[in-house]
Structure 1
Amino acid sequence: MELEQLLTLIQTVSDSKLTEFKYETETLCVKMGKESSVKVVTADPQMMAAVPAASAAVEAPDTEEEKAPEGKIVASPLVGTFYAAPSEDAAPYVQVGDAVKKGQVLAIVEAMKLMNEIESEYDGIVEEILVENAQGVEYGQPLFRIR
């Protein structure tokens, strides 16, 4: 995908009523969400250097009304359905009080029939699970608090 095509795609999605868009090939994965960021991931480093403005990190939303509890927040990278376990009869990936390592699977978010593993971005202890199993989640919504 050329830079002009990517910029046109970003503009088209921005102008549409879509809240999320994903395009994937063997060497390129483009995910866009309208709330606060666009994320571009690619295997071609030259492409990443060409579009730094299109790349952004997922962060938990801040509000003045809520006090920020201690710990780090793991937020949902996409809109979908949150699942705490790999199947209905399986134990949850993690529970409050469990020690976790960076990269460890915490849950799954199903989006468009695809199961997306949510990995911990931090080492620490699961202080709080902020959503219920099988609950719908939004892009950027806090899922876990880890201290």
Structure 2
Amino acid sequence: MELSNIIELIHAVSDSNLTQFNLQDGNLNISMSAEKTIVQQAAANTDAALSVQYQPVMQPAAQSAVQNQITGQATGTETFTGNVVKSPLVGTYYAASSPDSAPFVKVGDKVNKGQVLGIVEAMKLMNEIESEFDGTVKEILVENEQMVEFGQPMFVIE
């Protein structure tokens, strides 16, 4: 197989939806694999901006391992009594403005709507997480410097 044909084959596979491609022709063995990102946009409601979620396409073995993790988490899902404040983005949660500072809130603290509960760092930007409710902090569901996902419950306010 000529080099120009190989290059053309690479471009054809790259432009397609294939994540893995193998070709054997005599002594020639070509194997290509790609991790692609699927972008999904959710419909925006009047209160929230568009939400974009990224999901990498995985090989079957990796996909089944992730599915097992998800299934394991789903069976251990808690239901919370009270109002739940969820992470609006993916990032690293910080309980205080600096390592030497006291945490923004502790369990048992009274909070008002708009009060800062913590910070989520995403792409070197510090995003304040504000309470959406008036009440008392019943539970803090995340640890300082823990990675949080979009929509992950972080606080329970009663």
After TM superposition, the score normalised by the length of structure 2 is: 0.55
CA RMSD of aligned residues (A): 2.6
Deviations 1:96-126 (A, max 9, x none): 0000000000000000000000000000000
- Is contact 1:20-1:31 (8 Å) kept? no
Q: Which amino acid aligns with 2:37?
A: K
Paired position in structure 2 for 1:17: 37
Deviations 1:30-71 (A, max 9, x none): 653227xxxxxxxxxxxxxxxxxxxxxxxxxxx686342210
Question: 5+ unaligned residues in a row in structure 1: which ranges?
Answer: 1-15, 22-29, 36-62
Distance in 2 between residues matched to 1:83 and 1:20, nearest whole Å: 28
After TM superposition, the score normalised by the length of structure 1 is: 0.59
Q: Summarize the Cα distance change of 1:82–1:31 in structure 2 as closer, same or farther, 3 Å threshold.
A: farther
SS of 1:144's partner is strand
The question of 1:102 aligning with 2:86 is answered no
Distance in 2 between residues matched to 1:18 and 1:101, nearest whole Å: 38
Question: 5+ unaligned residues in a row in structure 2: which ranges?
Answer: 1-35, 42-48, 55-73
Q: Summarize the Cα distance change of 1:121–1:131 in structure 2 as closer, same or farther, 3 Å threshold.
A: same
Paired position in structure 1 for 2:99: 88
Paired position in structure 1 for 2:3: none
Q: Which amino acid aligns with 1:97?
A: G
Distance in 2 between residues matched to 1:137 and 1:20, nearest whole Å: 20
Runs of 4+ in 1 over 3 A off after TM superposition: 18-21, 63-67
- Is contact 1:33-1:139 (8 Å) kept? no
Choose from 111, 134, 141 the match for 1:130. Answer: 141
Q: Give matches, 1:65-76, under 5 Å.
A: 66-76=77-87
Aligned residues, how many?
Answer: 98
Q: Summarize the Cα distance change of 1:132–1:98 in structure 2 as closer, same or farther, 3 Å threshold.
A: same
**Structure with higher RCO (Cα < 8 A, 6+ apart):** 1
Distance in 1 between residues matched to 2:121 and 2:133, nearest whole Å: 22
